[in-house]
Amino acid sequence: MKLWIRLAIVIFVITTIVIEIVLFVVKPQVKNRYSSLLGEKLKSTAAASAVAINGDEFKELNFSDRSILSHPSFLHIKNQLSKTRSNLSLKEDIYTLTLINSGTAIFGITTNPKSYTGDTLHLINVIHKDALNETYNQNKCIYTELYTDQYGTWISGLAPILDNRGKVVGIVQVDNSLATVQALLSQIDKSILLVQIIFIPFTILLSITIAMFFTKPIKEVSKRINKLSLGDYSENIKTKSSGEIKEIYDAAENLRTTILEQQRKIFETVTNLQTAKEKAEAASRMKSEFLAMISHEIRTPLNLILGGLEVIKYELEDDKLKEIEDILDSIKQGSERLIRTVEMIVLYSDLASGSYNVKVKPVNINKLFFGLVENYKKVAEEKKLMLNTDCTSTTGIIKTDERLLEESLRHIIDNAFKFTKNGSITLCIEKEGEGIKIIVQDTGIGISKEFMGEFYKPFRQEDMTIGRGFEGNGLGLAIAKKCCDANGFDLQVVSEKNEGTNVMIHIGKEKLFHE
């Protein structure tokens, strides 16, 4: 539902409630005022009727004697009262009363077809009684509130009948019954209801007009924001407004200018990023070219050195070879170590930059694993370490990059042998649910808790001092982690200082090859 409709409904409801409250307060006052006006009318009618009656003739009539019904004075006065009743279209009777005492009166001349002349009226209602006595005693015209006597419920107007000496000799009373009063009040209710019904369309129209007036600025702001959402950042037409609406206009304009400013900064940033990207790509190309060049420039002379060493060994006689064999072996080991270091740096760089091209193919993991185990048996014998492979089971073929898997296992196993001086090393490959788990466990020096978050970082060792007890460039676990990530394997390391290390490679079931 649109905002202006909601606002119009709210305004209509509030206006209707206010009108109802006003009518609730005013209606009783109107009715009271109308009752007062009705009483004044009855009082005026009674006064006019009383003035028309000759008081001297009236006091000569003996209302206890039924024979006066044909008396000329009686008939004259009755005729006058009947004309007044007819002219004013009064439903109820106009009649005279003569007060016998403070609590009793006698009916005199009546305009009702049924004559009550001579009948005694016992004043049982205090309101009526006090009104009659006040009219007699104070010679004044008055009207009563609604009261109930033995004949019904009435509102009455009373006026004194005076003789030529100004003495009250009787009273003219004009009545309206409760039914008449209620009919008149009901007519007022109908009139008020009719006004309410007529007023409803005007209230609806007023509510819609006010709602449209107040929501027009909001619609303008909404149009501005829609323009912004559609990418139209042209300058907005200035609109006269004040208060909160002006704040909304200003906020929309601030949003427009902010977006333009942010766009300018974004374009600058994109341009800078593009430049930086081009520089980074150039630097990456330079790095790759540099590493390839360094690898070539180092490997080529080292291969020549190694080839030369083999020639020297072949050419020397046994007795002379023994004299320099240690030197030649040291040169060979140093050269191979240098070649290996360069290869590790190049591989880590390719994996870290994402430039390594992963080549997935079916690999017999048992064959690869047992081939590695075979290579490390001699190392275990030289270091007098127990090599345990009893936990190995047949596992099948997996989909992987064989070089990356072999590299990760070599670095993990190398670390196990490097950091284990005595004890044992366990190499296992086994089923794990629907996948495969490779375990390399040693009883070496372990890893401290402080270093547990660092060993995947390149060129980091727990002991980085010059006099450290272990060789290495700190790339082993870093490369193993990168290789496992590239293959989609999960590498997990559990270790405590001086308690050994347990490294596990988890290979998920999705990596298993099914023909």
* Tens-digit pLDDT profile for residues 171-187: 999 988 878 777 766 77
Q: Give the pLDDT of residue 467.
A: 44
What does the block give as tokens for 243?
A: 């208060």
The region of weakest confidence among 20-24, 131-135, 447-451 is: 20-24
Q: Where does the pLDDT of residue 167 fall: very low under 50, low under 70, confident under 90, or very high at 90 and above?
A: very high
Q: Give the pLDDT of residue 161.
A: 93
CA angle 307, 309, 315 (to 5 degrees): 105
Residue 494: phi and psi, rounded to 5, are: -125, 125
Q: Give the pLDDT of residue 347.
A: 75
Buried b (16+ CB within 10 A) or exposed e, 196-228: eeeeeeebbeebbebbeeebebeebbeebeeeb
Instruction: Please give the sequence-ordered ranges of beta strands (E in DSSP) within 138-183, or none if there are none.
Output: 142-143, 147-149, 152-162, 168-177
How far is residue 299 CA from its own chain's centroid? 66
CB 429 within 8 A of CB 438: yes
Q: What is the mean pLDDT of residues 352-361?
A: 84
Rounded to an integer, what distance in angstroms lies between the CA atom of residue 391 and that of residue 378?
Answer: 20
Q: Give the pLDDT of residue 27.
A: 63
Q: Give the pLDDT of residue 281.
A: 65
- Considering only residues 391 and 333, tell me which one the structure prediction assigns the higher pLDDT: 391
pLDDT over 80 at 11, yes or no: no
* Tens-digit pLDDT profile for residues 436-468: 999 999 998 888 887 777 767 777 666 555 445
pLDDT over 70 at 325, yes or no: no
- For residue 316, give the 3-state DSSP assignment: coil
Q: Give the pLDDT of residue 97.
A: 92
The region of weakest confidence among 255-269, 287-301, 392-406 is: 287-301
Q: What is the mean pLDDT of residues 241-249?
A: 66
Q: Where does the pLDDT of residue 168 fall: very low under 50, low under 70, confident under 90, or very high at 90 and above?
A: very high
pLDDT over 80 at 166, yes or no: yes
The region of weakest confidence among 22-31, 218-227, 329-338, 496-505 is: 22-31
Rounded to an integer, what distance in angstroms lies between the CA atom of residue 382 and that of residue 371?
Answer: 19
Q: Give the pLDDT of residue 441.
A: 92
Domains of the chain: 3-188 (3.30.450.20), 237-356 (1.10.287), 357-511 (3.30.565.10)
Residue 266: phi and psi, rounded to 5, are: -65, -45
DSSP string for residues in 214-244: HHHHHHHHHHHHHHHHTT--PPPPP----HH
Q: Give the pLDDT of residue 124.
A: 92
pLDDT over 80 at 230, yes or no: no
CB 507 within 8 A of CB 431: no
Q: Give the pLDDT of residue 5.
A: 73
Nearest CA among 122, 108, 19, 32 for reference residue 71 = 108
* Tens-digit pLDDT profile for residues 58-102: 988 998 888 888 899 899 988 988 888 888 888 888 999 999 988
* Tens-digit pLDDT profile for residues 457-514: 777 666 555 445 556 566 778 888 889 999 999 999 998 888 889 999 999 888 887 6
User: What is the radius of gyration, based on Cα positions, of the chain?
Assistant: 60
CA angle 37, 42, 47 (to 5 degrees): 120
The per-residue pLDDT of the chain, averaged, comes to 80
CB 158 within 8 A of CB 49: no
CB 105 within 8 A of CB 167: no
Q: What is the mean pLDDT of residues 11-33?
A: 69
Rounded to an integer, what distance in angstroms lies between the CA atom of residue 9 and that of residue 206?
Answer: 11
